[in-house]
Amino acid sequence: MIRLFVGIELPEELRDRLAALGEGLPGARWVPAHNLHLTLRFIGEVDEALAEDLHQALESVRAPAFTQALGGVGTFAARGRPHTLWVGAEREPPLVHLRDKIESALVRAGLDPEGRKFAPHVTLAKLADPKPDRLHHFLAAHSLLRAEFEVERFVLFSSLLGGGDPVYRAEADYALESIGA
């Protein structure tokens, strides 16, 4: 079995910039710079045969390259307790188009449809027991955060979970069509 997800890599410069925000909030488990990414579709554990079918399905996806904007910071919470700190990804048509194409390709190849709404984000940190005032201060201080980067490909990642940070590996990548091509 292999744990998979489809995502977009961030340029190194942007990853370093986002990882540096970690200096502003203690009490959170920060995602190391090399692990920062934007998830398009979480797949989960699949067997090798299905993984191969999913890879082939992803190879058939045709979508244009685009510029992606990131902006603002926020949290996901459960039962009133924030557990994930993220920077938002603008839900612009090219991103949604790519995500929809990937979704249909994966479902045609045998996955169950994704039931949850697509809430694009880059996870910055997992929050264990954040101090509310420090967290509010962090969110306010970075509310105007903005960044843009070019998306020219997407990636099928495997994820190995162990004791510490997960180990993500690019198993395959898929080029998007260049603008004007």
To the nearest whole angstrom, how small is the minimum distance from the Cβ of residue 93 to ligand 2AM?
22
Q: Which is nearer to ligand 2AM, 71 or 123 (CB)?
A: 123
Torsion angle, CA of 4/63/124/167, rounded to 10 degrees?
30
**Can you read off the two tokens belonging to residue 63?**
């979508």
Alpha carbon separation from 156 to 103, 145, 166 (Å, rounded): 13, 28, 15
In this structure, are residues 18 and 170 in contact, taking their beta carbons and an 8 Å threshold?
Answer: no
To the nearest whole angstrom, how small is the minimum distance from the Cβ of residue 180 to ligand 2AM?
31
Q: Which is nearer to ligand 2AM, 63 or 155 (CB)?
A: 155
DSSP state of 119: -
d(CA 153, CA 178): 10
Closest CA to 36 of 118, 125, 96, 103: 125
To the nearest whole angstrom, how small is the minimum distance from the Cβ of residue 181 to ligand 2AM?
30
122: amino acid identity, one letter: V
Q: Which residues bind ligand 2AM (CB under 6 A)?
A: 5, 39, 42, 84, 123, 159
To the nearest whole angstrom, how small is the minimum distance from the Cβ of residue 146 to ligand 2AM?
20
Q: Which is nearer to ligand 2AM, 39 or 68 (CB)?
A: 39
d(CA 71, CA 138): 14
Q: Which is nearer to ligand 2AM, 64 or 166 (CB)?
A: 166
Q: Which is nearer to ligand 2AM, 42 or 179 (CB)?
A: 42
Helix (H) or strand (E) holding 159: strand 153-160
To the nearest whole angstrom, how small is the minimum distance from the Cβ of residue 22 to ligand 2AM?
15
Q: Which is nearer to ligand 2AM, 34 or 84 (CB)?
A: 84
d(CA 61, CA 97): 11
To the nearest whole angstrom, how small is the minimum distance from the Cβ of residue 45 to ligand 2AM?
10
